[in-house]
Amino acid sequence: MSEPILLAEGLDRSFGGIHAVNDVSLEIPEGSLHAIIGPNGSGKTTLFNLITGHTRPSAGRVRFAGQDITGMPYSKVARKGLAKSYQITTVFPLLTVFENVRIAAQAAEHSYVFWRPADRIKSVVRHTEQVLERIGLAHERDTIASNLSHGDQRRLDLAIALATSPRLLLLDEPTAGMSPTETAATVKLVEELNADVTILMIEHKMDVILSIADRITVLHQGEKLFEGAPAEVKSHPRVQEVYLTGSL
Amino acid sequence: MTHVTTTPSSDGTPVEGAAPATLARVRGSRAARWTWGQLGLLLVLAVIVLFTVPNPSLAIGMLIYGLWAAGLNLLVGYGGLVSFGHALPFAWGGYAAGLVLLHVSTSVWLALLVAVASMALLSTLVGAVCLRRTEVYFSMLTLAFAQLGFFIALQWDSVTGGDDGLAGIPVPTLGLGTGIELNALRDPLTFFLFTGVVVLVTFAGLILFTESPMGRVLQAIRENEERARGCGYNTRLVQLVTFVLAGTVAGLAGGLFAMLNNFVGLQPYWLLSGVVLIMVILGGRSSLFGPVLGAVVYLVLESTLSRYYASWQLIVGAIFMVCVLAFPQGLWGLVTQTVPGLFRRRRSAG
Ligand SMILES: Nc1ncnc2c1ncn2[C@@H]1O[C@H](COP(=O)(O)OP(=O)(O)OP(=O)(O)O)[C@@H](O)[C@H]1O
Ligand SMILES: [Mg+2]
């Protein structure tokens, strides 16, 4: 079997007295849809930050696409093909939806060009339009990002990540704050995207994730409590105890 | 305080105040024409200045200050990086050009080339230090460098002339077998036209930069640096390139200013960091043309008021304050906002 696209080994990080992530390992095979669940404060976002280079792990290693990326700066990790969408919406607020996505779309090939107008680079414009179409924001292309509804801003956040054409997409609660209809649409979208890109996603809504994930990791107080297929997670007694009953 | 917050209006149209790219992109490729239209606006403004400003030295000064302010706005408006020390590159350019003309050659090309090239180098070093910090700390570092430059210029009088400055800078020649001299006193029209061409060409370069992928990234960084990093951009590098570009343009402007006055000294060169920033804010940060307009308006106010009142700066200061409070988007922002009909017609014509 080929090497997994992402391999995290023994990741560890404390903040003051809080052991936010405690010896967590992950193995994500190419093409899979892997979910991370866990109660509030269980270290999910911190685990993402250790992978992307936002936060330095105090122990452990991260390998991405066959390369050690431990301690690499975030922008460099991103250039390697790892994109992240944020738990708290992070977009370019005063730029249009189109420009938000175009900025991400040009990153792959035309980052630092300064001798020709950006709008003339047809391949980037076309790619941007495709992403907007796919995410379902094409009709909002000229809207200023901060004027979008909450749900659309969440989707724009995802569109920016997608437009960089990543090999691995990290999604930090993409449905946070969404209505049930919006949630359903986003879940369907994530499932569709998984046809082209490996996805590692944090999700709070248990029912959402059980139906689409290949594998689920349950975090509890920074530790990996359990990992398995959705059906196993559902029936696992400890998971029931700390997670299902408590937070839903 | 380095950010004047602007909220987009509810109907989804952008507010002029803070988002240059927004305006350009908001209606697709058509509005992009308006971006280049700024070049036309500058040309029109230059012609108006040529025919209405009686004092040729003032008219030429307007072009030079306009270019300097437009360059600064790359940092302030497009990059969200407020420099409090933009007198440094202006003065440096002045001294560099002055020294070349005094000691090496009277060629205008050589003098400007040295001003620009040496300033690009210096900007890289200064920028590398200043950009280690953001927001007000960045501003403070730029201010500190300008102060440092001032004291070096004051102390090192064997080179800089110290307190007296460099007087009697020879009249530069255009060369190229033309025998044309750039003499602001005897032949102001030639000087004006030469400056006009240099300013227009440089201004076109600035427009190209703001519309290029890198210029767009600069604006994205202003909006959200974290996210720009997440797209894979080396955000410091983009900001450094901008810093160097703004510094180089200021060096060019300073070199032209030295030729205009045949003099470089502590005054006014080193004292203009605040003035050029006022020009940018007065004219509006959301375009390149705004600061040029701001420079012209500022200089008109200065030259008119200083004739009647010894304390004219007080009045200019008061006017500036009212402007900032009443229309933070600046004069040009005000025009583009309140006369939308004008722009709609332009757009459909384009
Ligand atoms: N930068 C930081 N400084 C100090 N403490 C932090 C920091 N980041 C996270 N923590 C702490 O680490 C723990 C894990 O936080 P984290 O954000 O990773 O949880 P989470 O699983 O994403 O929670 P949620 O479901 O609320 O998003 C929390 O106790 C949090 O307070
Ligand atoms: Mg979280």
Whether residues B27 and A112 touch (CB distance < 8 A) is answered with no
pLDDT band at A245 (very low <50, low <70, confident <90, very high): low
pLDDT band at B11 (very low <50, low <70, confident <90, very high): very low
Is pLDDT at A68 greater than 70 in this prediction? yes
Q: Rounded CA gap, B235 and B89, in Å?
A: 23
List domains and CATH numbers for chain B. Answer: 32-313 (1.10.3470)
Stretch A76-84: mean pLDDT? 95
- The reported pLDDT for the residue numbered A247 is 47
Stretch B278-285: mean pLDDT? 94
The more confident residue out of A109 and B225 is B225
Q: Burial-class residue B340 by CB neighbours within 10 Å (0-12, 13-18, 19+).
A: exposed
CB count in 10 Å sphere of residue A190: 23
DSSP B178: -
| Residue B286 CA, ligand 1 centroid: distance in Å | 38
- The reported pLDDT for the residue numbered B24 is 37
Q: What residues have CB less than 8 Å from B4, skipping those under 6 apart?
A: B17, B18, B324, B328
Is pLDDT at A241 greater than 90 in this prediction? no
- Can you say whether the dihedral through the CA atoms of A184, A149, A176, A139 is positive or negative? positive
B207 to chain A: closest CA residue: A117
- Residue of minimum CA distance from atom 12 in ligand 1: A20
pLDDT band at B19 (very low <50, low <70, confident <90, very high): very low
Omega within 30 of 0 (cis) for the link into B291: no
Task: For chain A, give the mean pLDDT.
Answer: 91
Residue A156 at interface with chain B, using a CB cutoff of 8 Å = no
Pocket lining: A53 vs ligand 1, CB cutoff 6 Å = no
Stretch B122-134: mean pLDDT? 95
Considering every ligand atom shown, identify the ligand nearest to the alpha carbon of residue A49 and give its number.
Answer: 1
Among the listed residues A8, A90, A91, A84, the one whose alpha carbon sits nearest the alpha carbon of residue A45: A84
**SS3 breakdown of chain B: % helix, strand, coil, rounded to 5?**
75, 0, 25
- The reported pLDDT for the residue numbered B5 is 37
Closest ligand 1 atom number to CA of residue A87: 27
Pocket lining: A128 vs ligand 1, CB cutoff 6 Å = no
Torsion of CA B293, B298, B304, B305, to 10 degrees: 150
pLDDT band at B336 (very low <50, low <70, confident <90, very high): confident
Whether residues B22 and A96 touch (CB distance < 8 A) is answered with yes
Stretch A72-91: mean pLDDT? 94
CATH topology for A1-76+204-248?
Rossmann fold (3.40.50)
DSSP B164: G
pLDDT band at B161 (very low <50, low <70, confident <90, very high): confident
pLDDT band at B20 (very low <50, low <70, confident <90, very high): very low
Query: Which residues of chain B does A147 touch, with a Cβ-Cβ cutoff of 8 Å?
Result: 8, 10, 12
Query: Which residues of chain A does B209 touch, with a Cβ-Cβ cutoff of 8 Å?
Result: 114
Query: Of all residues in chain B, what percent carry a pLDDT higher than 90?
Result: 65
Stretch A101-117: mean pLDDT? 86
pLDDT band at B34 (very low <50, low <70, confident <90, very high): low
Whether residues A91 and B227 touch (CB distance < 8 A) is answered with yes
Stretch A199-228: mean pLDDT? 90
Task: For chain B, give the mean pLDDT.
Answer: 86
A203-217, B123-137, B228-242, B272-286: least confidently modelled range = A203-217
Stretch B320-343: mean pLDDT? 81
pLDDT band at A208 (very low <50, low <70, confident <90, very high): confident
- The reported pLDDT for the residue numbered B342 is 56
Pocket lining: A38 vs ligand 1, CB cutoff 6 Å = yes
What are B264's strand-pairing partners?
B166
Residues 61-90 of A with CB under 8 A from B: 73-76, 78-79, 83-84, 90
Is pLDDT at B29 greater than 60 in this prediction? no
Considering every ligand atom shown, identify the ligand nearest to the alpha carbon of residue A55 and give its number.
Answer: 1
Using one digit for the tens of pLDDT, what is the confidence trace for B189-233?
Answer: 999 999 999 999 999 999 999 999 999 999 999 999 999 999 999
- Can you say whether the dihedral through the CA atoms of B138, B140, B143, B147 is positive or negative? negative
Q: Rounded CA gap, B103 and A198, in Å?
A: 66
Residue A92 at interface with chain B, using a CB cutoff of 8 Å = yes
